[in-house]
């Protein structure tokens, strides 16, 4: 069974179109605070989300092929390296964020800065989704999906994003390097060739560090699950079926 984990600023609906093309049993998890309530006392740090994901994985009674996008990818890398026995395989994008020399993108740096991050999301939430959707459309997301993506951000999600990014300085590797090495189970690093948040060299280097396959998603950008769900599903189905 494939278990999908979304990223920022997204909800589990990110995977709806991919799942409709799969023909394989799957579940899309909703990160706490992302299109769903933030539990009382939930810290929303990267380690809090890892613990949440591990608890979710513990609820399945069959082998899991874990697939993550964006921050869901970050969580996937941590599970695969530190808790690999909990899954059968893994696949994830933006591997460059796990590189020892990774430097956060401009948006992340704003969110990691107290005051600036709060101001950023206050402005975003007050802007009409149709206007915010233009950014996503510029990265290949179809109009209706772009509007839905833009509409998902609310105060709860914004607060979780700020806490999540502020728990990951100077980068993710700094705290998670203790387990960073070849994963016990098969892995696939996805590299959308037009992803402005990706970097091929670091992506390939991380794949090598983890002993994983590396596959380019030619011509696709950051939101490839929305941009080309049929071809994305085909790539994932091919990988999963190769494990049987």
Place of tokens 């539990």: 39
134-158 per-position pLDDT tens digit: 999 999 999 999 999 999 999 999 9
Give per-residue pLDDT as tens, 14-35. 999 999 999 899 999 999 999 9
Confidence bin at 244 (pLDDT 50/70/90): confident
2-103+173-241: CATH architecture: 3-Layer(aba) Sandwich (3.40)
Q: What are phi and psi of 90, to 5 degrees?
A: -150, 155
Domain ranges of the chain: 2-103+173-241
pLDDT greater than 90 at residue 50: yes
- Tokens 């959308």 found at: 192
Q: How far is CA 24 from CA 17, 21, 85, 236, 240, in A?
A: 13, 9, 22, 10, 9
Q: Report the C-alpha dihedral over residues 173, 179, 185, 191, rounded to 10 degrees.
A: 10
pLDDT band at 66 (very low <50, low <70, confident <90, very high): very high
Sign of CA dihedral 49, 106, 228, 232: negative
Q: Coil, helix or strand for 35?
A: coil
> Is the four-CA dihedral 81, 85, 89, 90 of positive or negative sign?
negative
10 neighbors 94 (Cβ within 8 angstroms): no
Token code pair at residue 226: 């929305």
- 220-230: average pLDDT: 98
Phi, psi of 126 (to 5 degrees): -85, -5
Q: What is the reported pTM?
A: 0.97
Computed on alpha carbons and rounded to an integer, the radius of gyration of the chain in Å comes to 17
- At 92-123, the pLDDT tens digits run 999 999 999 999 999 999 999 999 999 999 99
Separation of alpha carbons 76 and 52, rounded Å: 12
């Amino acid at each position: 069974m494939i278990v999908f984990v979304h990223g920022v600023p997204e909800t589990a609906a990110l995977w709806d179109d991919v799942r409709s093309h799969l023909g394989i049993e799957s579940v899309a998890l909703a990160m706490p605070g992302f299109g769903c309530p933030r539990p009382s006392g939930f810290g929303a740090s990267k380690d809090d989300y890892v613990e949440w994901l591990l608890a979710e994985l513990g609820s399945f009674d069959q082998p899991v092929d874990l697939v993550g996008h964006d921050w869901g990818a970050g969580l996937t890398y941590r599970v695969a390296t530190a808790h690999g026995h909990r899954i059968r395989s893994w696949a994830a994008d933006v591997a460059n964020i796990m590189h020892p020399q990774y430097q956060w993108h401009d948006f992340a740096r704003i969110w990691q800065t107290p005051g600036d991050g709060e101001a950023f999301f206050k402005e975003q939430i007050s802007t009409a989704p149709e206007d915010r959707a233009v950014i996503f459309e510029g990265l290949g997301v179809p109009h209706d999906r772009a509007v839905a993506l833009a509409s998902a951000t609310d105060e709860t999600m914004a607060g979780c994003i700020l806490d999540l990014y502020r728990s990951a300085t100077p980068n993710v590797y700094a705290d998670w390097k203790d387990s960073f090495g070849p994963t016990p189970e098969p892995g696939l690093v996805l590299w959308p060739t037009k992803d402005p948040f990706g970097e091929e060299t670091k992506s390939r280097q991380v794949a090598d560090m983890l002993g994983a396959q590396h596959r380019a998603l030619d011509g696709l950008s950051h939101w490839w699950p929305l941009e080309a769900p049929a071809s994305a599903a085909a790539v994932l189905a091919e990988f999963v079926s190769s494990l049987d």
